[in-house]
Structure 1
Amino acid sequence: MCIFLIADIKITNDEWVPTYAENAHKIVHKHGGRYLSRSGNITTVEGEDLCTSLIAIIEFPSMQHFENFFNDPEYATYAKARQAGSKSRFHIIDNSDIAGTIEYLPAS
């Protein structure tokens, strides 16, 4: 079952961004992932605005593929820089339907 990483990032120091942006996607691809979006064009339409600077949505073929990416020693340097220069929230969701009423999604 494929999974999606939703990375919600509030940049606090942007020094890390150019190097991260240039290199992280290569490591994502190395582990079978693909970006569906990486955008700073964010509009909060309901709820508290978290002042997010960037949201990336990345699809991985499985949780194992994501874990291989996230734990890749090559990614560690970029992850540390991101963590030092941002407040990041990473969420993982699968492609299931919790209500089980959407026929093209597996029931969760």
Structure 2
Amino acid sequence: MATRMIALLYAENMDWIPEYSANVPQMVAKYGGSYNFISTGEVKVLEGTFPAPTGIGIFDFPSVEAAQQFLDAEEYKPYLELRNKHSRNEIFAFDGREV
């Protein structure tokens, strides 16, 4: 079943994003995933009290397991460390269907 992964990024400084973005998409693809949308522009909360992130990534994977394999991959660890050094993140993965 198709899986969507959404990453909410909370960062003060986005200077590390070019290095991350230059290397990570190939790793996502290796696990059957694709970037659908990345935004580091202003996010407005239209409803609710969830804090607005400074960046959002939306990805597709063939399964939740594939998304987790990407996040756990040895080759991704240096970029995970880079991301975690400069930001706080909330990442969600869920199965779904197109409606």
TM-score, normalised by the number of residues in structure 2 = 0.87
Bigger Rg over Cα: 1
1:58 and 1:22 map into 2 onto residues whose CA distance is 16
2:44 and 2:17 map into 1 onto residues whose CA distance is 21
Q: What is the identity percentage for the equivalent residue pairs of Structure 1 and Structure 2?
A: 29
1:15 and 1:36 map into 2 onto residues whose CA distance is 22
CA offset at residue 18 of structure 1? 1.5
2:47 and 2:81 map into 1 onto residues whose CA distance is 31
| Alignment correspondent of 1:21 | 21
Aligned residues, how many?
A: 98
Answering whether residue 78 of structure 2 is matched by residue 77 of structure 1, we say: yes
Compare relative contact order (CA 8 Å, sep 6+) and give the higher one, 1 or 2. Answer: 2
| Alignment correspondent of 1:11 | 11
CA offset at residue 65 of structure 1? 1.4
Deviations 1:31-66 (A, max 9, x none): 110111111242211122524111101010012211
Answering whether residue 65 of structure 2 is matched by residue 64 of structure 1, we say: yes
1:6 aligned counterpart, secondary structure: strand
Stretches (4+) displaced over 4 A: none
2:51 aligned counterpart, secondary structure: coil
Whichever residue aligns with residue 2 of structure 1, its letter is A
Give the conservation status (yes or no) of the 8 Å contact 1:32–1:61. Answer: yes
TM-score, normalised by the number of residues in structure 1 = 0.80
Give the conservation status (yes or no) of the 8 Å contact 1:37–1:57. Answer: yes
Answering whether residue 93 of structure 2 is matched by residue 92 of structure 1, we say: yes
Give the conservation status (yes or no) of the 8 Å contact 2:44–2:52. Answer: no
Whichever residue aligns with residue 6 of structure 1, its letter is I
**Unaligned ranges ≥5, structure 2:** none
